[in-house]
Amino acid sequence: MSTLETVAASGAPAGTSPDHSPATTPGGARVARDVPVPAGFDMRRHLSGIGSRMAGPANVILQLSWPGVGYGVMNSRVHDGSAMLHPIKRARTTFTYLAVSMLGTEEDRTAFRKAVNGQHAKVVSTPDEPVQYRAMDPRLQLWVAACLYYGTVDMIEKMHGPLDEQTADALYAHCSRFGTSLQVPAEMWPKDRAAFAEYWEEGLKEVHIDPDVRDFLLRLTTLQNFPRRMRRLAPFNVFVTTGFLPQEFREQMGLPWNEEMQARFDKLMRRLGRIERALPTQARIFPFNVLLANMRRRLRTGKALV
């Protein structure tokens, strides 16, 4: 087991309580849970409801390309959160998590973390499975968080062009919350974008989409988990999903791509970027604002968050 996989017997990383709330040192000082973000940084300027819906399926493929994540999601015994059985509920939970991570307060994230932990604690491999996994594993969660950050920057740049260095650094720090909002301690997040690039290259060495996971992902990409009338959108979803995938992932998924398709995809992204830049903030970040408000309402009324 690597040092990144070492966790306390409770299942929480060192420096946190089992629900990953801030712990204290023997002297009583609080241990920082999140990576510091430069003052004045406003994540709302970089959230994209349109882009997230477009790029989301491709990001699922990135995340599940690690066998531990792929088999964990595919074989999860938490059926009420299954993307195949309950796609709308799963989408709502996932996008709410993104909203809470990126826009929520510390109290929001603590409440949602506890709810997600209750589900993740049940996602553990059985001895006869070909891949061993545990959804509470910070190492697997770090890969998922890294994919979400990678996808966020990729989506922004495809729609709006490159970020300046200062903004890119601030966005990187803020996006650490994709991981620290669950079991990833701040010290596991690569210290800067250069360190992240090294982590990403090392992570690509563990990418392996075997036939079972590929079939599962293709069923999701072709919308086989949705009612028949929605499957008419499958060709467009496959096109956009393939466009957002790096080439090595396209190859492992067996998804064709060529220069003509790339030109069509680039034109679509530029057009969507122009539309998005003309929208007011609340429209641009929809549905994240609505989902965050809904989560807070559910919390106040004692309803389940996931």
Q: How far is CA 92 from CA 76, 82, 109, 114, 257, in A?
A: 18, 12, 16, 17, 30
In a domain, 251, yes or no: yes
207: left (phi over 0), alpha (psi -120 to 50) or beta: beta
Please give the structure tokens belonging to residue 234. 């499958």
pLDDT given for residue 32 in this prediction: 58
**What range does the domain containing 220 cover?**
45-300
In a domain, 219, yes or no: yes
Q: Give a three-class secondary structure readout of 154-180.
A: HHHHHHHCCCCHHHHHHHHHHHCHHHH
In a domain, 218, yes or no: yes
3-state secondary structure at position 29: coil
pTM of the predicted protein model: 0.88
**Residue spans of alpha helices (H) in the chain:** 49-64, 67-74, 87-103, 106-120, 138-160, 165-175, 177-180, 193-204, 211-221, 234-244, 247-253, 259-277, 281-284, 288-300
Say if CB 64 and CB 70 are below 8 A apart.
Answer: yes
In a domain, 24, yes or no: no
Please give the structure tokens belonging to residue 292. 């965050």
How many domains does the structure of the chain reveal?
1
Please give the structure tokens belonging to residue 55. 């790029």
Could you give the CA distance from residue 223 to residue 228 in angstroms, rounded to a whole number? 9
Q: Could you report how far apart the first and last alpha carbons of the chain are, in Å?
A: 31
In a domain, 119, yes or no: yes
In a domain, 209, yes or no: yes
Q: How far is CA 298 from CA 116, 221, 306, in A?
A: 14, 30, 10
In a domain, 33, yes or no: no
Question: Tens digit of pLDDT per residue, the chain (306 long)?
Answer: 332 322 222 333 334 444 444 444 444 444 558 899 999 999 999 999 999 999 999 999 999 999 999 999 999 887 666 777 788 888 999 999 999 999 999 999 999 999 999 989 889 999 989 999 999 999 999 999 999 999 999 999 999 999 999 999 999 999 999 999 999 999 999 999 999 999 999 999 999 999 999 999 999 999 999 888 989 999 999 999 999 999 999 999 999 999 999 999 999 999 999 999 999 999 999 999 999 999 999 999 999 998
- For the chain, give the number of residues: 306
In a domain, 282, yes or no: yes
Say if CB 134 and CB 140 are below 8 A apart.
Answer: yes
pLDDT given for residue 20 in this prediction: 42
pLDDT given for residue 6 in this prediction: 27
Could you give the CA distance from residue 304 to residue 290 in angstroms, rounded to a whole number? 17
Nearest alpha carbon to residue 144 among 59, 72, 270: 59
